[in-house]
């Protein structure tokens, strides 16, 4: 049981916009910034979004993040087949005094 709650799966067709939610509490998302990671099959996770909504260099602007209260969202617009991956949210938890991850969302491009 992960501290952060994500839907196990999401899907969309090419060109569509999809969103993935991440729900937490006041001890984690409510008081700290959220990062998102993309894990393509058989590879290590890659930083996709940091500080709720900022993209590292090289990440397409099709990916965007937002946070409101104790929840966060990742949006992917103009969905492409290469976006098929697992997506994880993560943040610092003040009660645990450590990093916590969501359970991950498997995105399928139909």
Give the C-alpha separation, 82 to 40, whole Å. 9
Shortest Å, Cβ 44 to another protein: 4
Distances (CA, A) of 76 to 12, 26, 64, 65: 10, 26, 7, 9
Part of the chain binding another protein (CB under 8 A), chosen from 22-30, 43-51, 62-70, 74-82: 43-51
3-state secondary structure of 55: coil
Shortest Å, Cβ 15 to another protein: 29
3-state secondary structure of 83: helix
Please name which of 28, 10, 15, 17 lies closest in space to residue 72, comparing C-alpha atoms.
28
Asked if 92 interacts with another protein (CB under 8 A), we say yes
Asked if 46 interacts with another protein (CB under 8 A), we say yes
Of the residues 47, 60, 69, 78, which one makes contact with another protein according to CB under 8 A: 47
Per CB under 8 A, residues contacting another protein are 2, 33, 35, 37, 43-47, 50-51, 54, 56, 88, 90, 92, 96-104
């Amino acid at each position: 049981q992960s501290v952060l709650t994500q839907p196990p799966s999401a899907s969309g067709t090419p060109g569509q916009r999809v969103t993935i939610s991440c729900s937490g509490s006041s001890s984690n998302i409510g008081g700290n910034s959220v990062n998102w990671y993309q894990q393509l099959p058989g590879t290590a996770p890659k930083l996709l979004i940091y500080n709720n909504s900022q993209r590292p260099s090289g990440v397409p602007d099709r990916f965007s993040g937002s946070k409101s209260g104790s929840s966060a969202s990742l949006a992917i617009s103009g969905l492409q087949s290469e976006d098929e991956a697992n997506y994880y949210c993560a943040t610092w938890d003040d009660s645990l005094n450590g990093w916590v991850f969501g359970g991950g969302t498997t995105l399928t491009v139909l």
